[in-house]
Amino acid sequence: MPGGHEAPVFARAIIIRAQRDPVDQILNKRAPAEYPIADVLARRWSPRAFADRAVGETDLRTLFEAARWAPSRSNSQPWRFLVATRREPREHERLASVLSDRNRRWATRAPVLALGIAQVRDGDRPLLHGHYDVGQAVGSLLVQATELDLHVHQMAGYDRQAARELFGIPDDFEPMSALAIGYLGDLDSLPEDLRERELAARQRRSTHEFVFTGQFGSSRA
């Protein structure tokens, strides 16, 4: 310290906690936004460590109520969701069984697993915006989850054909993203390699890299 004075005991304790407490780091993993964004968006992130704490049925239904009110082309609402909680161990295990080995290492601890499904055909007519609209529904679900202090981690790593066969998904529907839903848990529940990823700084492309004017690739300065 300047002048040779030591920091007060309480201040040293705060410094030590900041240095040693990885849980504090993940509890405060806000987006380092370049421009102001809504607080709920800044707080949303996708952990792998989930607490052994059930999600109440009312809160669970609230998540899908938020998805229900997402926009869609011509109000077609092409989203469907398969959902299982750990209160339904057989169904939870069935959903977990289609996940990749890498995702099963952590996702089975989540109290809720879900699978987003898009309607891609209506009879002979293709629904070209089905995938997009399911993404909008899940986006609404993510915002609502954050408002409830819940977290959602979306997964592309699962066996789509196995899911189709196991759950009887019709041909005019397509499995999209798997979801793990729950409360933030103990970092020590994860394997070491995943703990490191959990603590990594959040990164995104700058808006200059994907917002264009005039023609594709021409950055909006």
pLDDT tens per residue, range 10-54: 333 333 333 445 455 556 789 999 999 999 999 999 999 999 999
| C-beta separation of 146 from 40 below 8 A | yes
Instruction: Compute the mean pLDDT over every residue in the chain, rounded to the nearest whole number.
Output: 90
| C-beta separation of 220 from 208 below 8 A | yes
Helix (H) / strand (E) element for 121: namely strand 121-122
Residue type, 83: V
Confidence of residue 208 (pLDDT cuts 50, 70, 90): very high
| Confidence (pLDDT) at 77 | 97
Is the pLDDT higher at 18 or at 59? 59
Tally Cβ neighbours within 10 Å of residue 149.
10
| Confidence (pLDDT) at 24 | 53
| C-beta separation of 45 from 151 below 8 A | yes
| Percentage with pLDDT > 90 across the chain | 85
**pTM to 2 decimals?**
0.87
Mean pLDDT of 148-168: 98
Asked whether the predicted pLDDT for residue 5 surpasses 60, the reply is no
Distance CA 103, CA 95 (A): 12
